[in-house]
Structure 1
Amino acid sequence: MLAASVSVPVTRAQAPAPAAASEPGATPSGASAVDPAAVQALKKMGDYLQTLKRFAVSTDATGERVLRDGQKLQHTARAELQVVRPGMLRARISSARSDRYLIFDGRTVTLYAPEQKYYSIVDFSGTIGELIDRLEEKYGVELPMTDLFRWGTPAASLDNFESAMYAGQARIGKDLCDHYAFRQGKIDWQIWITAGEHPLPRKVAITNRGDEARPQSVSLFSWNLKSTFDDASFRFTPPSGAKRIEMVERKSR
């Protein structure tokens, strides 16, 4: 079950990309109001993300687990990605409980657990987006930050919001960001997008309204669009003493 432990233990945003700001501080008059400018901002962000061919991005994520008595326990994880589109990816996912690597060179995908020195390799040729879907469907493996590859594609629908609003501006690190808030079903989520010519997502906060305790996850993103890593980063050589094991397929539902 090496593969199943690769995902980052936080909730994911299932949404599009933020839109150009309408008037700062403007909010919809009713719970069902959808500001077209907020939706357009998401589209602008998604379109920009799809233009990025070589980059590195990391996220520090904080999530909440709710106990039966309503008490919340907070947990954290970190994920780091190196990406060359369309078909090379290196991911490291680390927390207090585990450290995992996923390496995709365009022909094979490797999952490696350095502490246990176990690794699995399966053949796969396709795009990163296709790899994400394949790993989830066949092996139950959820990669971190998958929405970064779905925003700006048909997989991120822009027409299913119950509400969408522009919430003003804020600084995330040194970046001035436009802040948007959306409601979809039992999920409320917010996103902070760098203002200006490079609309990168810098923060995402997700609240589960389906749980009366309303647990929340928050992810902070750091970007490097001028990364110096080379293609050797996407080749895996088993360390001395490492043992190859089979990647187990998920059971049919």
Structure 2
Amino acid sequence: MHAKFLALALSAASLLITQVHAQNAASAPSTAGSPNAASAVDPAAVQALTTMGSYLQSMKRFSVSTELTGERVLQDGQKLQHTATAHLDVDRPQAIRAVMQSARTKRELFYNGETVSLYFPAQNYYSTVPFAGDLASLVEQLRIRFGIEIPLADLFIWGTPNAPTEQFQSAMYAGQDFVGADICDHYAFRQKGVDWQVWIMAGAKPLPRKLVITRLDDDARPQSTSTINWATKPAFMRTVFTFKPPASAKKVDIVPVAAGKEYS
């Protein structure tokens, strides 16, 4: 019973950050302002994703945090907003600690290159399973095997072969905006079932600073907005990636989404 609770809670409580697999860049396309820009794929906008993705993949050690505002649509069409936060410490290729929190729950994920641990402080439950692979593999296997989405998972997918760009129905440059104190290039994309926008820092560090996702498979068009903050010279130590359960914590088995599948 505890195992089922943990698996369901992890799946249901995951931050609603849709995995729109794409890649990024910082160059502004020449078709900005064109009346037809939103009806076709602008190669410069796609190249912006590629450049951003390559820069993300070059980063080995960083901390990143996000505040997410999402929408839940009631049966009568009324929208309710909810918020959640996440903080990730990353040391590539095989170490991550993620702390995810909302008003309803807090959960923590640890990976040190040998084991993955998931911990719910309020319930004082945890699960630990063996795993060996890079962070992109971890993201994929947690999603496939357990239905668990790591917050900001696209950061580990952008810039890899798992982030295709041929699925876009439209891609455009929308000008420049500030996100916090950073001037950013704003891009908008459409693909099957979703519209999404990304604000990428202009200049030598093309980091994503804001992401907006709008679902098209719901007439109410629910939307989520994530503001992303970066620390490119973090002070964490390697020990943060190894989970040490409290003496009173109860270990439970996490239930796979589909039986018979093993980590590859």
TM-score range, shorter chain: over 0.9
Return the alpha-carbon distance in structure 1 between the equivalents of residues 63 and 8 of structure 2: 24
Tell me the alpha carbon deviations over residues 92-149 of structure 1, each in whole angstroms, 9 at most, x when there is no partner: 0000000000000100000001111111000111111111111111111111111000
AA partner of residue 230 (structure 2):
W
2:22 equivalent in structure 1: 16
Equivalences, count? 253
Q: How does 1:147-186 map to 2 (within 5 A)?
A: 147-186=154-193
1:45 equivalent in structure 2: 52
Contact (CA 8 Å) 2:168, 2:190: kept in 1 or not?
A: yes
- SS of aligned partner of 2:55: helix
Match of 2:9 among 2, 5, 8: 5
In terms of mean alpha carbon deviation, does 3-12 or 28-37 score higher?
Answer: 3-12
Whether 2:222 is the aligned partner of 1:215: answer: yes
Give structure 1 regions of 4+ aligned residues with deviation exceeding 4 angstroms: none
TM-superposed CA distance for 1:5, in Å, is 3.0
Whether 2:71 is the aligned partner of 1:64: answer: yes
Contact (CA 8 Å) 1:31, 1:162: kept in 2 or not?
A: no
Return the alpha-carbon distance in structure 2 between the equivalents of residues 152 and 128 of structure 1: 13
Structure 1 residues not aligned, in runs of 5+: none
AA partner of residue 185 (structure 2):
D
TM-superposed CA distance for 1:182, in Å, is 0.5
Contact (CA 8 Å) 1:28, 1:165: kept in 2 or not?
A: no
- SS of aligned partner of 2:103: coil
In terms of mean alpha carbon deviation, does 117-126 or 2-11 score higher?
Answer: 2-11
2:137 equivalent in structure 1: 130
Identity %: 51
AA partner of residue 9 (structure 2):
S
AA partner of residue 125 (structure 1):
A
TM-superposed CA distance for 1:160, in Å, is 1.4
Tell me the alpha carbon deviations over residues 173-200 of structure 1, each in whole angstroms, 9 at most, x when there is no partner: 0100000000101211100000000000
2:118 equivalent in structure 1: 111
Contact (CA 8 Å) 1:61, 1:219: kept in 2 or not?
A: yes
TM-superposed CA distance for 1:239, in Å, is 0.9
Contact (CA 8 Å) 2:42, 2:171: kept in 1 or not?
A: yes
- SS of aligned partner of 1:126: coil
Return the alpha-carbon distance in structure 2 between the equivalents of residues 127 and 35 of structure 1: 32
